[in-house]
Amino acid sequence: MMVIVVENVPPRLRGRLAIWLLEVRAGVYVGNYSVKVREMIWNQVEAGTEDGNAVLIWRDSSESGFDFKTFGKNRRIPIEVDGMKLVSFLPELPDDDDFLHYLSM
């Protein structure tokens, strides 16, 4: 089983994903493929994401039972702690207007 979630990607990538996977919600694709096909699909995601972002989740024999990888800019980034993959949140960047207002004080 594999799941791909995409945000802000071009329609052509969403269409390509819909050829291989079932889109169960907007931007959420599921399927069941071999490692080779999963990597081929992920290569297409990396090539077509442009300014968006994506995450791939698949069943794995790790302690958590799954593994994942991400692509593109996002506040959530994968980190490894004691051999277990977790998610860390980057701090929110201020809006340009808020930042300029802060500097003018």
18-44 pLDDT tens trace: 999 999 999 999 999 999 999 999 999
d(CA 71, CA 42): 10
Tokens of 9: 């990607």
Q: What is the pLDDT of residue 100?
A: 53
Cβ atoms 42, 58 nearer than 8 A: no
Task: Please calculate the CA angle 48-50-54 and round it to the nearest 5 degrees.
Answer: 75
Q: Are 10 and 27 in contact (CB under 8 A)?
A: no
Under-50 pLDDT residues of the chain: 103, 105
* Structure confidence at residue 84 (pLDDT): 81
pLDDT at 64: 85
* Residue carrying structure tokens 């069943």: 59
pLDDT at 98: 57
pLDDT value, residue 80: 84
